[in-house]
Amino acid sequence: MKMVIAVVQSKDAGTLVDKLVARRYRVTRITTSGGFLRESNATLLIGVEDELVNDVVSIIRATCQTRNRYISPLPPMTEPGGDIYVPNPIEVQVGGATIFVVNVDQYLRI
């Protein structure tokens, strides 16, 4: 058995959970946030038999979109009376999903 851990954008998470549940996969959704953008995203835990991992990944691939985000870098420390700092937004491409597939030693439902 494997645990598929998928970090996805919040905008895609609801649709993705709906699709997975409709296909009878068991899913846990956790509200998380990325360390870089500090924005809310979602992490899904999906425990599946080994032979179903590819199916789960293809559902994620078909559902989650890559999007561009723009962030403004923090201004550098300046002395009073120094130059005015006008930040140039930086474009960041946030992937459709970041997926980890890990082995599960035991799966118990009590």
Residues that bind ligand 2BA (CB under 6 A): 7, 34-37, 41, 92-95, 98
CB of 66 to ligand 2BA, least distance (A): 8
User: From residue 102, how far is each of 44, 47, 48, 49, 53 by CA, in Å?
Assistant: 13, 10, 11, 12, 10
Residue closer to ligand 2BA (CB basis): 47 or 98: 98
CB of 40 to ligand 2BA, least distance (A): 10
CB of 22 to ligand 2BA, least distance (A): 25
User: From residue 105, how far is each of 2, 3, 16, 29, 108 by CA, in Å?
Assistant: 9, 10, 26, 21, 10
Residue closer to ligand 2BA (CB basis): 93 or 106: 93
Radius of gyration of the chain (CA): 19
